[in-house]
Amino acid sequence: MSVKSPVAAQENGLEIKHYRAGFSLFLISQAVVFMVLIAVRYLIAGSKVGPYSQWLGAAVTVVMLWSAIQAKRANLAADKGDHEAILKRLQGAFWLGVLAFLLVVLTWVGVRAGGYPIKLPSLEVFWVATGFWLVYVLLGLFVLFAARSRGIRVGYVPESHWDLEASSRFWSLVALGWVALWVAFFLI
Amino acid sequence: MAQPLTKEGPDPETRRVAPLPPVLRGFLWAAIGFIVFAALAAWLDPSRVSPYITAVGAVAGWFGAMIGWLLGIGGYEHVVKPMMGYPSPAVRTSGWRRYYEYALDHKVIGIQYLGASTGTFLIAGLIAMAMRFQLMSYRPTLFHYPQNYLNAVGIHGTLMMFTVATVAMVGGLGNYFVPLMIGTRETMFPKASGMSVWLVPLGVLTVAMSPLLGQWTTGWRGYEPLASSDGSGLLYYYLGVFALTTSSLIVAINLTATILFKRTRGMTWNRLPLFAWGILTVSLLNIIWLPEIQTTFVLGMLDKVMPLNLFNVFGQPLGYEYLFWLFGHPEVYIVVLPALAIWSEIIPVMGRKSLFARPIAVLGLVFVMLLSGMVWAHHMFTMMRFSEMLPFSFFTEMISIPTGFAYLAVIGTLWNSRLRLTTPTLLVLMSMFNFLIGGLTGLFLADVPANLQLHNTFFVVGHFHYTIIGGMVFSWMAAMYYWLPKFSGRTYSEFWGKLGAIWVFVAFNATFLNFFILGLHGMNRWVSVYPKYLQPENFWTSIAAFFLGAGFAINIIHIVWAWMKGPKVKENPWDAKTLEWRTSSPPPTKNFDTLPVVVGSFYTYGEGVPDPVEIPVSEMETKGSPG
Tens digit of each residue's pLDDT (9 = 90 or more) over A85-115: 999 999 999 999 999 999 999 999 999 898 8
Longest pairwise C-alpha distance within chain A: 66
Query: What is the pTM (predicted TM-score) of this model?
Result: 0.93
Among A84-93, B378-387, B397-406, B411-420, the range scoring the smallest mean pLDDT is B378-387
Length of chain A: 188
Contact of B218 with B207, CB cutoff 8 Å: no
CA distance B302 to chain A (A): 8
Tell me what the mean pLDDT of segment A6-30 comes to: 84
Percent of chain B topping pLDDT 70: 95
Percent of chain A topping pLDDT 70: 94
Residues in chain A with CB shorter than 8 Å from the CB of B189 are 22
pLDDT one-digit tens code per residue, B413-426:
999 999 999 999 99
Residue B256 pLDDT exceeds 50 = yes
Tell me what the mean pLDDT of segment B533-550 comes to: 97
Q: How confident is the model at residue B380 (pLDDT cuts 50, 70, 90)?
A: confident
Q: Does B308 touch chain A (CB under 8 A)?
A: yes
Residues in chain A with CB shorter than 8 Å from the CB of B305 are none
Give the CB-side neighbour count of residue B537, counting CA atoms within 13 A. 18
Alpha helix locations (H) across chain A? 6-45, 54-80, 83-113, 121-153, 162-182
Predicted local confidence at residue A8, as pLDDT: 64
Residues in chain B with CB shorter than 8 Å from the CB of A163 are 83
Q: Which of B534, B543, B453 is nearest to B507 (CA)?
A: B543
Predicted local confidence at residue B3, as pLDDT: 41
ipTM of the complex: 0.93
Closest partner CB to A44 (pick from B84, B295, B310): B310
Contact of A157 with A2, CB cutoff 8 Å: yes
Closest partner CB to A43 (pick from B256, B319, B623): B319
Identify the burial level of B64 via C-beta atoms within 10 angstroms of its C-beta, where 0-12 means exposed, 13-18 middle and 19 or more buried.
Answer: buried
Q: How confident is the model at residue A160 (pLDDT cuts 50, 70, 90)?
A: confident
* Partner-chain contact B260 A18, CB within 8 Å: yes
What CATH number does the domain located at A6-187 have?
1.20.120.80
CA distance A11 to chain B (A): 9
Q: How confident is the model at residue A9 (pLDDT cuts 50, 70, 90)?
A: low
Predicted local confidence at residue A5, as pLDDT: 59
Q: How confident is the model at residue B276 (pLDDT cuts 50, 70, 90)?
A: very high
Q: Which of A132, A131, A144, A133 is nearest to A171 (CA)?
A: A144
Which of A29, A167, A170 best tests the B interface by mutation, with the highest count of B CBs <10 A? A29
- The contacts of residue B178 (CB under 8 Å, 6+ apart) are B106, B187, B255, B258, B259, B275, B276, B279
- Higher confidence at residue B389 or residue B152? B152
| Domain range list for chain A | 6-187
* Partner-chain contact B84 A149, CB within 8 Å: yes
Q: What is the mean pLDDT of chain B?
A: 92
pLDDT one-digit tens code per residue, B186-209:
999 999 999 999 999 999 999 999
Q: Does A21 touch chain B (CB under 8 A)?
A: yes
Q: Does A125 touch chain B (CB under 8 A)?
A: yes
Contact of A162 with A40, CB cutoff 8 Å: no
Which of A34, A128, A153, A164 best tests the B interface by mutation, with the highest count of B CBs <10 A? A128
pLDDT one-digit tens code per residue, B139-153:
999 999 999 999 999
Closest partner CB to B256 (pick from A14, A25, A152): A25
- The contacts of residue A6 (CB under 8 Å, 6+ apart) are none
Residues in chain A with CB shorter than 8 Å from the CB of B308 are 119, 124, 127-128
Closest partner CB to B85 (pick from A40, A132, A149): A149
What share of residues in chain B are helix, strand, coil (percent, to 5)? 70, 0, 30
Among B1-5, B44-48, B113-117, B174-178, the range scoring the smallest mean pLDDT is B1-5
Predicted local confidence at residue B18, as pLDDT: 58
Dihedral sign, Cα of residue B408, residue B410, residue B413, residue B414 = negative
CA distance A188 to chain B (A): 20
Angle at A151 between CA A147 and CA A156, to 5 degrees: 110
Nearest residue in chain B measured CA to CA from A148: B84
Residue B495 pLDDT exceeds 80 = yes
Predicted local confidence at residue B607, as pLDDT: 84
Tell me what the mean pLDDT of segment B367-376 comes to: 88
Q: Does A25 touch chain B (CB under 8 A)?
A: yes
C-alpha to C-alpha distances, B593 to B156, B582, B588, B597, nearest whole angstrom: 44, 10, 9, 13
* Partner-chain contact A18 B294, CB within 8 Å: no
Tell me: cis bond preceding B225? Omega within 30 of 0 counts: yes
Predicted local confidence at residue A188, as pLDDT: 84
Residue A166 pLDDT exceeds 80 = yes
Domains observed in chain B: 20-86 (no CATH), 105-565 (1.20.210.10)
Predicted local confidence at residue B345, as pLDDT: 96
Q: Which of B358, B359, B368, B367 is nearest to B413 (CA)?
A: B358
CA distance B308 to chain A (A): 6
Predicted local confidence at residue A7, as pLDDT: 61
Contact of B596 with B622, CB cutoff 8 Å: no
CA distance A79 to chain B (A): 19
Predicted local confidence at residue A110, as pLDDT: 93
Q: How confident is the model at residue A164 (pLDDT cuts 50, 70, 90)?
A: very high
Residue B241 pLDDT exceeds 60 = yes
**Amino acid residing at B214:** G
Closest partner CB to B188 (pick from A22, A30, A33): A22
Tell me what the mean pLDDT of segment B58-86 comes to: 95
Q: How confident is the model at residue B561 (pLDDT cuts 50, 70, 90)?
A: very high
pLDDT one-digit tens code per residue, A20-32:
999 999 999 999 9
